[in-house]
Structure 1
């Protein structure tokens, strides 16, 4: 995240302050990993949590100014971190383990996740371990049940198989640290790369993924920008996602990209040329011939439903009018044929209408229109036949 305020404590060591600043600066990589963990059917992480600083009573000399506590089941909206307390507080007696909590991002003290027993993040943990003796450090690691490695550096993301671990100094004070973080920001999560083809298919099959706001008032584009998922953002924009739309917090996707610290995505949202080729997407077959066939079938059907009985009745011959369901079926087939043979106008218009339950307002309106036209047509034919 960029330009964030940090909760400080008087007397806190500089090493710990640097660790908190580094945790906030690299939190975006934690959140990118969480966005993909949420998609996994079989979860990959052994543990994922953040540490938040809870302000205590500043007038009570017997307790510290803040209490730092780990929080799991984390959610993040670009400004606020929410989750569930993992442990019983020592001083913040207004809370207990298992309570839902919510604090501004400035209260973020650290982040950490564990994959196959391997620790990523844990900047303040490293600061504390660095100040311990070897025996104390061994006891600390045993209590966690994790191997944190040699103190002084922190691993921020899993490296590809066969590559050296991506480790940075705790204070991010070296040029190599900035180069590595820039490399991570320019790169993509492996799952984002692997799912490109399926994503393209899903966006074509379910266009509501592009235009529908979730229960929190966010588009999928907002969520993916905040998580730094460049290939997903690129695909959404290519399929018509609106980069100017605001979320429930009044933020555009570009504002989120700047605040979260994803300059590559910000450039993409500003219309700069993508640094990746367009994916090859199967075009399939044209729909208009099917539409014309449906129109022809429906007109033939309506001929026997309307013209034949009306003609017979007009010359004094006995005529029988088909049931209402036949009229509804013929009008429905005609409607489908017209939509299929005249291009994607209906589907574009459909996305601009609100959701009513699990259906689009335009779909419900069109279905009601079919029913009304069928009833009116059936009624007129029946009246004419009876009158003659």
Structure 2
């Protein structure tokens, strides 16, 4: 490889590493949208995926072989992301399409949502698109059937450009304020219920970044000091997931 190619490869590698970190930092927005999608009568997502690195040691090489692949059917408990591998590996033999896998947020390399064919996240894809010509980007997007937009302006929340407040509270959270209050007032046992993992509704709503629901739960007696079986309070989740608007409420 020539020195010029080495430089180009190194620059792209650094861009990819930065993309991984950005995806990890903004995963909270991905999960917030997944949370609300589960409550919709009519699904709004065209796709919702998380990319994670898989690796396998090879006796012939000192370094492991790594392959980044997408998982779907995402679940998240505030600490662990679980999903199903969407495709067959090209390089690895220790995983297969359809396998269920679990990773920490700090281990993912990307996430991507598409709503009304418009993408959110997709940081590693945008690194690749940023090096394409305009025509190549157009062909890439047509192949996916999605609008990836400007690779230098990656969106994380639905209609955030028109409504910046969507970066703070999900629009469905506001719409559902009265139904949520009515439900919790009529079902106070749900406010204090604890599942087999020590998770309360306050934990769940905090993980999803829903300030309105968190405030209602606290008004109705939810215990902000309650800990999961792994020792996490709602404040711990708000801090770890960088939900800045929830931290003062939970302190």
Q: If the TM-score is normalised by the length of the shorter chain, which range does it land in?
A: 0.7 to 0.9
2:184 corresponds to: 203
Residue 41 of structure 2: aligned partner: 41
Match of 2:112 in 1: 112
Superposition deviation, residue 90 in structure 1? 1.2
Structure 1 residues without counterparts, runs of 5 or longer: 1-9, 167-179, 271-388
Correspondent of 1:214 among 191, 195, 219 = 195
Partner of 2:151: 151
CA distance in structure 2 between the aligned counterparts of 1:103 and 1:155, rounded to whole angstroms? 24
Please give the residue correspondences for 1:335-346 in structure 2 after superposition, counting only pairs within 5 Å: none
Q: 1:234 aligns with which of 215, 222, 229?
A: 215
Larger relative contact order (CA 8 Å, sep ≥ 6): 2
Partner deviation per Cα, 1:9-63 (whole Å, 9 max, x = no partner): x956211111111111111111111111111122111111111111222654499
Q: Structure 2 CA distance, aligned partners of 1:184 and 1:241?
A: 26
Partner of 2:24: 24
Aligned to 1:51: 51
- Give the aligned partner of residue 86 of structure 2: 86
Is 1:245–1:252's contact at 8 Å kept on the other side of the alignment?
yes
Most deviating of 82-91 and 147-156:
147-156
- Number of the residue aligned with 2:68: 68
Relative to 1, partners in 2 of residues 1:135 and 1:264: Cα closer, same or farther, differing over 3 Å? closer
User: Taking structure 1 as the reference length, what is the TM-score of the superposition?
Assistant: 0.58
User: Which segment is superposed worse, 49-58 or 35-44?
Assistant: 49-58
Q: 1:62 to 1:137 in 2, by over 3 A?
A: farther
With the length of structure 2 as denominator, give the TM-score of the two structures: 0.88
CA contact (8 A) 1:72 1:83 kept: yes
Number of aligned residues:
242
RMSD in angstroms over aligned alpha carbons?
A: 2.3
Distance in 2 separating the partners of 1:69 and 1:155: 21
The DSSP-based 3-state class of the residue aligned with 2:128 is helix
